[in-house]
Amino acid sequence: MTEPIRFFLDGEEVEAQPGETIWQVATRCGIEIPHLCWLPKPGYRADGNCRACMVEIEGERVLAASCVRKPAPGMKVRTASERARFSRRMVFELLLTDQPARAVAHDPGSRFWHWVDKLDVADGRFPRRPQPAPDRSHPAMAVQLDACIECTLCVRACREVQVNDVIGMQGRNWHEKIVFDFDDPMGTSTCVACGECVQACPTGALMPASLVDENGVYANAPDRTVDSVCPYCGVGCQLTYQIRDDHIVAVAGREGPANLNRLCVKGRFGFDYVHHPDRLTEPLIRKDGASKHDIDIDPANPYTHFRKASWEEALDRAAAGLRRIRDEHGKRALAGFGSAKGSNEEAYLFQKLVRTGFGSNNVDHCTRLCHASSVAALMEGIGSGAVTAPFTAAGDADVIIIIGARPTENHPVAATFFKQATKRGAKLIVMDPRGQVMARYATHMLRFNPGRDVALLNALLHTIVEEGLTDRQYVQAHTEDFDRLREHVRDYSPEAMAGICGIDAATLREVARLYARAEAAIIFWGMGISQHVHGTDNARCLIALALVTGQIGRPGTGLHPLRGQNNVQGASDAGLIPMVYPDYMAVDDPAVRARFEALWGTELDSERGLTVVEIMDAIHAGAIRGMYIMGENPAMSDPDVSHAREALAKLEHLVVQDLFLTETAKYADVVLPASAWPEKDGTVTNTNRQVQLGRTALPMPGNARHDWWIIQEIARRIGLPWSYTHPRDVFAEMKLAMPSLNGITWERLERESSVTYPCDSEEEPGHDIVFGEGFPTPSGRGRLVPAAIVPPAEEPDEDYPMVLTTGRQLEHWHTGAMTRRANVLDALEPEAVASLAPAELRRLGIAPGARIRVATRRGAIELTARSDSAVAPGMVFIPFCYAEAAANILTNPQLDPWGKIPEFKYCAARVEPIAAQAAAE
């Protein structure tokens, strides 16, 4: 079977590798065969339906589709016989007959027209069919099936590549039709607008709406393209910006290691925030006397509270304020928030500014709010906070656990790999109090009681230990403290835990066995694990599961906390954390500190700095008086955000650097207009530890400036002699500080776009899967840390009888500063909603779509009720991206003791209807 197959192609003897099709061999041999329904891209199965690639095989009665047909030994294939060419041409003529004229084509540069040109097919001689009406119901995509050739590439794109399962073929014969769900308009279907179908369509029947005019005719042809990386989530999809007149008009997926050409709705259609009129284009200085307690400032018109300033004045003012506080109140009176949305270079510079310029370790970023507890547990358990395997390892797994994560919404492209794995036969176990799309692909869906993760996971550990399902050799060779864990989980039998976690004992045992006995099993988790006061404990249990079963360090195994932001991994690696320097080297380790003091040529603070929520408390306490915030929006993202906003208002001096006048920037004394991701060069590190290069695609608007330049200008003004000329200079310095960047250079990234760390040398690819031979802990072993049940910090009671949980939506990115300014995303999810179970709404007497009030002990917000059967009765889910009803007004700021992460996923709440007249106002 593995022997090459020798056959004859147009008279020449050639070799085919096993599995290769005639088309592939021909293409390799330089023979061009037309093709429409065959898309030679990863994930696309050849379907052989269009018959544009027919070839003649000696001795066969009819022609064969070369895209699906595999050669047999000795077979004689003729690609250019009169018979084959005749059929191919006729196929094009038949299809051309029913196409819209090229002058009014939806995509005159489509693959279809490319081949029509190549084959020189004139007009179709056949009578035309009646044509279907266009469907322009979707804000992102134009459906114009008059150009459809029923090749089913969109069906395969939707069902086999992205596995969103929306597109299908209705009916049969020439009346058959591409449909969404039940032939619903695309805009009201279950379509999640990943746009894979648009990217796959060979005719323009499916087009980005931005590339056709109101008549459906091609418009806005790009004049150039730039390869870069998506600015949104931690998946790190590579993409290509299509640009016309210095505006992005469309985005296409690129074949990056994490996305294989796939994108989601944000990456593909959420690009126009960069061109939004709200963009800050001039430095702003707060007007004298403008209140900080009235944040009702229109981002499109900041001049009610701010005045324009020159860069010189703004930078001088910004730096002077910081310098004054440092000099008058001491180093620890300042703090800085960097951002996981910036580049590695920006993160590195920012933490270096705080550490060497401000003089303390008071620097943090939103990792504190997402995976700080996961990282704490991972550092403690296996000595590394990063994933042990990329999410694409799901492709090699037999069993996949997804817990506390909703990848179809928050890591949509990663989710495609999980769904594909289940189609291949992998068993999927989803654990989430809320129902979710992944459940349809799951063999087990465990909707456990919210906040009862440890009970659930300890029951699994109990079963594995009690039933002898541990990997004894692995435990002996690579772990420590197993006895302590074994003793601890003895009390957590599934039978005892069933009542607590809400999953019956038999299911718990079955799942434990499934995971432990799998050849290769992998665990993915998200904020549902980390954003609890017991977040670190939750993660400890997951680590223990992997360690006691040896499901780590091999293909298809591992621990993978799905990182949220495009560069949360990189920003953390770069040291945007108060306890550690770059590469997680502890600030309170004298030897480490000495090294960084030598590298940076200055004395460094030996104390750990404060974390995000601690900094807010320190402001209230008067300890911190000035802040520099780059690209973070704590006025939306912090728990109990009223408290955070009061803190921001209390600051003596606040410098905010951002794209928009965010809710945080409204409290600023100086606002510095920054660069959007497509406007700069820089590297970012995704959840898979893949360091990827973003490239400048657009000029900056107005007087906006590159972030690295702004940081450097501030640094210079507070006494640091910096002279970087480009991010590549910063990257070169980072390599001196960070062994993890071994083997990765700027030049290599320019060449390869993506390199995984750790990487042994510049010539080799990095290691996808790590810890096959022990862990980077002092003992070299993975540490098993038992976790006891800690209840959520605030349980429902009579006054607040429901459980509020917060999170994200597919369409919106975090605090909404970017995505709510992207037209398509805003159209799809335009306003604040609270999701409740249909039964719960009925019980409360609330109609879907009605205005409701959600209150907790911290505050109350008003928003629209959404009926969603995925939400359990007794729960309410609110995304935190909506400024008009900021969910974090409600959330509980209680912290996990190790990760210092707040409990965003659980607090007590009350939901009540609002009288109709009030809602109408």
Partner 1 sequence: MPQSIRHDRRIHPGSGRRRAPDHPKGRQVDPAALAEVQALLGARERRRDLLIEHLHLLQDHYGCLHVRHLAALAEEMRLALVEVYEVASFYAHFDIVMDGETAPPLTVRVCDSLSCALSGGLDLLAQLRNRLGSGVRVVRAPCMGGCDRAPVVAISGVPARSPEEPSPGGVSKGRGVGGHALHEHASLDSVAAAVAAGDTHPAIPAYAGLDAYRAAGGYRLLQSCRAGERAPEQVTDPLEKSGLRGLGGAGFPTELKWRLVRQEPKPRLLAVNGDEGEPGTFKDRYFLETDPHRFLEGMLIAAWAIEASDVYVYLRDEYPQCRVILEREIAALERAGLAGDVRIHLRRGAGAYICGEESAMLESIEGKRGLPRHKPPFPTQVGLFGRPTLCHNVETLYWVRDIVEKGPDWFTGQGRNGRKGLRSFSVSGRVREPGVKLAPAGITARQLIDEFCGGMLPGHVFKGYLPGGASGGILPATKADIPLDFGTLEGEGCFIGSAAIVVLSDRDDMRQVALNLLRFFEDESCGQCTPCRVGTEKAVRLMAAPNWDESLLAELARVMTDASICGLGQAAMNPVKMVLKHFRNEVLAPGQESGGLR
Residues in 134-163 that interact with partner 1 by CB under 8 A: 149-150, 159
DSSP 729: H
Nearer of residues 604 and 886 to partner 1, judged by Cβ: 886
Nearer of residues 171 and 330 to partner 1, judged by Cβ: 171
Nearer of residues 323 and 645 to partner 1, judged by Cβ: 645
From the CB of 467, what's the least distance to partner 1, in Å?
A: 29
Nearer of residues 295 and 623 to partner 1, judged by Cβ: 295
Residues 6+ apart with CB under 8 A from 499: none
Burial of 289 (0-12, 13-18, 19+ CB in 10 A): exposed
The answer to whether residues 391 and 419 touch, using CB atoms and an 8 Å cutoff, is: no
Q: Is the peptide bond before 130 cis (omega within 30 degrees of 0)?
A: no
| 77 binding partner 1? (CB under 8 A) | no
Nearest CA among 194, 24, 581 for reference residue 351:
581
Residues 788 and 368: their CA atoms lie apart, in Å, by 23
Positions in 869-908 near partner 1 (CB under 8 A):
869-870, 882-884
Give me the amino acid identity at 237. Answer: C
Of 27, 97, 225, 642, the one binding partner 1 by CB under 8 A: 97
| 68 binding partner 1? (CB under 8 A) | yes
Cα dihedral 584, 672, 684, 811 sign: positive
The answer to whether residues 832 and 863 touch, using CB atoms and an 8 Å cutoff, is: yes
* Residue bearing tokens 């003596």: 652
Nearer of residues 803 and 886 to partner 1, judged by Cβ: 886
From the CB of 215, what's the least distance to partner 1, in Å?
A: 23
The answer to whether residues 704 and 673 touch, using CB atoms and an 8 Å cutoff, is: yes
Nearer of residues 185 and 222 to partner 1, judged by Cβ: 185
Return the range that interacts with partner 1 (CB under 8 A); candidates 165-173, 245-253, 325-333, 534-542. Answer: 165-173
Residues 731 and 766: their CA atoms lie apart, in Å, by 18
From the CB of 882, what's the least distance to partner 1, in Å?
A: 7
Nearer of residues 164 and 756 to partner 1, judged by Cβ: 164
Interaction pattern, residues 789-818, with partner 1; x per rule: CB under 8 A: ---------------------------xx-
Nearer of residues 801 and 849 to partner 1, judged by Cβ: 849
Positions in 248-287 near partner 1 (CB under 8 A):
277-278
Of 2, 173, 761, 917, the one binding partner 1 by CB under 8 A: 173
Positions in 439-468 near partner 1 (CB under 8 A):
440
From the CB of 682, what's the least distance to partner 1, in Å?
A: 24
| 765 binding partner 1? (CB under 8 A) | no
Return the range that interacts with partner 1 (CB under 8 A); candidates 237-245, 708-716, 860-868, 902-910. Answer: 860-868
What's the alpha-carbon Rg for the chain, to the nearest Å? 29
From the CB of 277, what's the least distance to partner 1, in Å?
A: 4
Cα dihedral 206, 208, 211, 216 sign: positive
Return the range that interacts with partner 1 (CB under 8 A); candidates 182-190, 250-258, 327-335, 699-707. Answer: 182-190
Q: Which two tokens stand for residue 664?
A: 């945080």
Positions in 651-690 near partner 1 (CB under 8 A):
660
Nearer of residues 12 and 921 to partner 1, judged by Cβ: 921
The answer to whether residues 808 and 880 touch, using CB atoms and an 8 Å cutoff, is: yes
Of 211, 865, 872, 876, the one binding partner 1 by CB under 8 A: 865
Beta strands in 695-819 (DSSP E): 754-756, 782-783, 802-807
Distances from the Cα of 300 to the Cα of 1, 209, 306, 660, 819, angstroms: 66, 26, 12, 9, 16
DSSP 351: H
Nearer of residues 67 and 793 to partner 1, judged by Cβ: 67
Task: Identify the bridge partners of residue 878 per DSSP, sorted by sequence position.
Answer: 806
Of 19, 171, 739, 791, the one binding partner 1 by CB under 8 A: 171
Residues 664 and 655: their CA atoms lie apart, in Å, by 10
Nearer of residues 27 and 49 to partner 1, judged by Cβ: 49
Nearer of residues 702 and 772 to partner 1, judged by Cβ: 702
- By three-state DSSP, how is residue 846 classified? coil
Positions in 769-788 near partner 1 (CB under 8 A):
none
Nearer of residues 398 and 829 to partner 1, judged by Cβ: 829
Element counts in the chain: helices (H) and strands (E)? 30, 39
DSSP 275: G
Interaction pattern, residues 819-838, with partner 1; x per rule: CB under 8 A: -xx-x--xx-xxxxx-x--x
Q: What is the dihedral of CA 886, 888, 891, 893, to 10 degrees?
A: -160
- Please state the three-class secondary structure of 441-510 as a single string: HCCEEECCCCCCHHHHHHHHHHHHHHCCCCCHHHHHHHEECHHHHHHHHCCCCHHHHHHHHCCCHHHHHH
Of 868, 898, 899, 909, the one binding partner 1 by CB under 8 A: 868
From the CB of 199, what's the least distance to partner 1, in Å?
A: 19
Positions in 481-520 near partner 1 (CB under 8 A):
none
Task: Identify the bridge partners of residue 694 per DSSP, sorted by sequence position.
Answer: 682
Positions in 537-566 near partner 1 (CB under 8 A):
none
Give me the amino acid identity at 246. Answer: D
* Residue bearing tokens 């004049």: 223
Positions in 293-312 near partner 1 (CB under 8 A):
295-300
| 170 binding partner 1? (CB under 8 A) | yes
Nearest CA among 222, 187, 218 for reference residue 205:
218
Positions in 191-220 near partner 1 (CB under 8 A):
191-192
Return the range that interacts with partner 1 (CB under 8 A); candidates 92-100, 309-317, 524-532, 776-784. Answer: 92-100
Nearer of residues 45 and 751 to partner 1, judged by Cβ: 45
Nearer of residues 164 and 687 to partner 1, judged by Cβ: 164
Phi, psi of 369 (to 5 degrees): -95, -5
Give me the amino acid identity at 369. Answer: L
| 110 binding partner 1? (CB under 8 A) | no
Nearest CA among 408, 426, 414 for reference residue 557:
426
From the CB of 730, what's the least distance to partner 1, in Å?
A: 30
Interaction pattern, residues 30-59, with partner 1; x per rule: CB under 8 A: ------------------xxxxx-x-----
